[in-house]
A and B are shown apart, each in its own frame.
Chain A
């Protein structure tokens, strides 16, 4: 396999009203893992889209193997040997692995047996273990990611761009991914690795470039750089830590689940005999590999799913059979897992989003009618208090970066002094600055007696924020840890069922 040398020189990209990239320079050397780090909204995604031809650059040039190139579509980038794995996987669920991979590259080996043979060959060479005939729908996150990488390799890409590939993986899966990446680099590929998890970057990267406010602000050598130095380059401040200082746990239960069992539409049990108590002033963290019942646990508490048996109490109120509206009215805030699907109406302005979920209570609503004035004023309060970076309350939610959307949601869910906060991945896809702010707010509310049910895939967050950790595996709570003594690898082992990585 021939190697590839890609350089971006002075890239600039403007959108109406925003300069997304200016004077961005980056050199990806052959057979190296190059990490690109920066906060959300620092312009990493724009740069990647330019490198992959999804968007065109306004200024600057891309140089591949010494020759300037222009990409008008991903096809051109693919032809030049550049492939990309998006953060949100670009796979069609209803097609097989083979169909997803050969799509758009049918000329290479057709769409029949020859193509499947080639897929098996690549899969074996890098130890992916994928069956080309399996439906993508049936695959877990780690396997989907491998399909994406395979897709890129099948096209003969020599530079593979990975956009926050570890965001959805558990530690063992991250290790497996890094082994795959090492294998790729060993066989002549280059990797551009986008992340804001500094310890991962330090462990995998050969070169590091840091972006801030749309431009590249420096490079670092992972052999010598420390996390603190990188964080300072990224945000111009010190690395936030989720550690909670003193315990504020009380004896007063806020949420009590007793032997709750939940079944999905097909009758399969997704939660089995769950008993769990969250006290006032306590953060209970739920750790687990995605798809082991976390979403269902959250949904059954929120009244979005019904328990088949068992009971759920909020303080002294039985909420087992209540709907979401009633549950929320009893004082439950909810930060949903997917803010685009559940948390926000993206095309509504912020103040209208402020009303959502609070459409029965002041200040957003008075006498059954939406109070425009009250809602706007309260949206403004959230913007100031939670440091949401936006031009104003009339801006549509879509125009905000992920971190700012999330801060707004957390702010909204904390209004009206809830008793319980159900937080599902509250800082997923959020940059370090916003992450620290969200952690601070959760900690502060907890000090005032809020109970928090925290579901997260970020182990640092779980360990740092929780007073107690519960591990969920195949719909059962299987282990309990004290966050002050547990290590990430213990937890990872419990999450995957005793050291065996779930396949």
Chain B
């Protein structure tokens, strides 16, 4: 009994150490960013406007990532997020135009949910390969909204065969005092303080209700999946459905529910694109964010907090690539990437993974060379930033991840024992 007790307190102590390490790492990241900002003179990398763009870039990815998380925690790979998001963009535009912004949000979720239903029927009931079904949904989703836009938007005022504008969007608000205070601090260009203030100002200025909802959903997802028996059952279907079955759990039902919720989240991501990131609908405006959401989920090790981190990172690169004169910003980012890679190479070297360390070091040197041999990154490249970062981050981080054990596997009832 005593040994068990010691083991227990050791566990607690370790958890505490891990938490400290995380805080220290976060602080170190801020210090590095701040230093890079002062050194490069690219003050805009932590300006409120940039960070606001980052949040707006992050939210659709975050919603897609959370959607992916719901499905994969139940063992279904939902690569159809992209298609479900596309359906969501149309749903948001259509319902918001006719019935107002709230209906737009709900309509987008509903359209995404329909996409999820299609995926659930294919993968859960008929045992279709998850990837094939998902890709089919992406293709069908694009075709469907093209058709729907042509038939429903062409005759509307502000509409065309492939676009629609002039509908109302969810309200935005600015937190009084905090936003102005933070903004004035941010303008001073003080080391660290201005960077943090910039982040606060970016978050509190012209904040959309849909953004608030998105961040609330991160907490809701974490709470439901890890603190309720419903969530436990859902996760068990992704870890070992046969075991769940022997305990009397209706695995099919939980998989269905999970994929439906997944689709609805992706639909909300579409709503965000069509209502907050821009105020108009265009066919195909997701631009692969469904896939990036999936990447954020994998980067986040199938956990809500990880998905949040990944989305913010992708959102940031996505956000700045849309700003004017982004070449200079991406150029400053290059230095940040070079430093990050160097740190990673050192960590890998200490873990005795020589080859990985060497590759990291090589890439790091490449990034340094690129940074010092140019003044700006060509604008043709800046648009690629989020995608390059996606590839890159997955290549670096996907080595020690733990996905749900039965993720992507076919499950048939009655196979237990």
Contacts and interface: CB of A to CB of B under 8 A. Distances in A.
Interface of A: 45, 48-49, 52, 54-55, 73-75, 78, 84, 86-88, 90-95, 99-100, 102-107, 110-111, 129, 131, 133, 151, 163, 267
Contacts of B405: 92-94
Interface stretch (B155-163, B226-234, B363-371): B226-234
Contacts of B416: 54, 86, 90
Interface string B237-254: 001101111111100000
Contacts of A106: 229, 232-233
Contacts of A129: 4
Interface in B197-223: none
B269 interface: no
A133 B8 contact: yes
Contact of B249 (A55, A95, A104): A104
A184 B203 CA distance: 60
Contact of B232 (A75, A84, A93, A111): A111
Given A45-B417, A104-B249, A106-B229, A90 B8 contact: no
B236 A103 contact: yes
A95 B236 contact: yes
Given A52-B417, A54-B414, A95-B232, 5 more contacts: A90-B242, A92-B240, A94-B239, A94-B402, A131-B4
B399 to A, nearest CB: 10
A91 B240 contact: yes
Residue in B7, B244, B248, B414 with the greatest tally of chain A CB atoms within 10 Å:
B248
Contact of A110 (B229, B248, B417): B229
Q: Is the interface of A mostly helix, strand, loop or mixed?
A: loop
Given A94-B239, A131-B7, A104 B247 contact: yes
B235 A95 contact: yes
A366 to B, nearest CB: 35
A264 to B, nearest CB: 12
Nearest to A78: B248
Nearest to A104: B247
A49 B415 CA distance: 11
A319 to B, nearest CB: 25
B248 A73 contact: yes
B352 A267 contact: yes
Interface of B: 4, 7-8, 11, 227-229, 232-233, 235-236, 239-240, 242-249, 351-352, 402, 404-405, 414, 416-417
A74 B414 CA distance: 11
A106 B236 CA distance: 13
Contacts of A93: 239-240, 405
Contacts of B228: 111
Nearest to A88: B417
19 contacts: A52-B417, A54-B416, A84-B246, A86-B416, A87-B417, A91-B243, A92-B236, A92-B240, A92-B243, A92-B405, A93-B240, A94-B239, A95-B232, A95-B239, A102-B232, A103-B236, A104-B249, A110-B229, A111-B229
A103 B233 contact: yes
Could you tell me the dominant secondary structure of chain B's interface residues? helix
A105 B247 contact: yes
A52 B46 CA distance: 62
A93 B240 CA distance: 8
A327 B249 CA distance: 46
A148 to B, nearest CB: 10
3 closest A-B pairs by beta carbon, nearest first, are A104-B247, A75-B248, A106-B229
A86 B232 contact: no
A78 B249 CA distance: 12
A299 to B, nearest CB: 21
A326 to B, nearest CB: 24
Nearest to B242: A90
A48 B416 CA distance: 12
B244 A104 contact: yes
Nearest to B230: A106
Contacts of B404: 94
Contacts of A54: 246, 414, 416-417
A54 B247 CA distance: 10
Nearest to A263: B352
A104 B417 contact: no
A92 B402 CA distance: 13
A221 B233 CA distance: 43
Contacts of B417: 45, 48-49, 52, 54, 86-88, 163
Contacts of A74: 245-248
B406 to A, nearest CB: 9
A75 B417 CA distance: 15
B414 A86 contact: no
A328 B402 CA distance: 33
Contacts of B244: 92, 103-104
Contacts of A88: 417
A163 B346 CA distance: 50
Contacts of A104: 233, 244, 247-249
Nearest to A110: B229
A92 B249 CA distance: 14
Given A74-B246, A129-B4, A131-B4, A55 B235 contact: no
A78 B240 CA distance: 19
B14 to A, nearest CB: 13
Contacts of B247: 74, 78, 90, 103-105, 151
Nearest to B231: A111
Given A49-B417, A102-B229, A131-B7, A92 B246 contact: no
A266 B173 CA distance: 50
Contacts of B11: 133
Contacts of B232: 95, 99, 102-103, 106, 111
Most A Cβ at <10 Å: residue of B245, B414, B417: B417
Contacts of B352: 267
B358 to A, nearest CB: 17
A45 B240 CA distance: 21
Contacts of A78: 247-248
Contacts of B248: 73-75, 78, 104
B243 A90 contact: yes
Given A84-B246, A102-B232, A103-B247, A131 B240 contact: no
Nearest to B3: A503
B249 A103 contact: yes
B74 to A, nearest CB: 13
A74 B232 CA distance: 19
B236 to A, nearest CB: 5
B405 to A, nearest CB: 6
A366 B60 CA distance: 58
Contacts of A133: 8, 11
Contacts of A55: 414
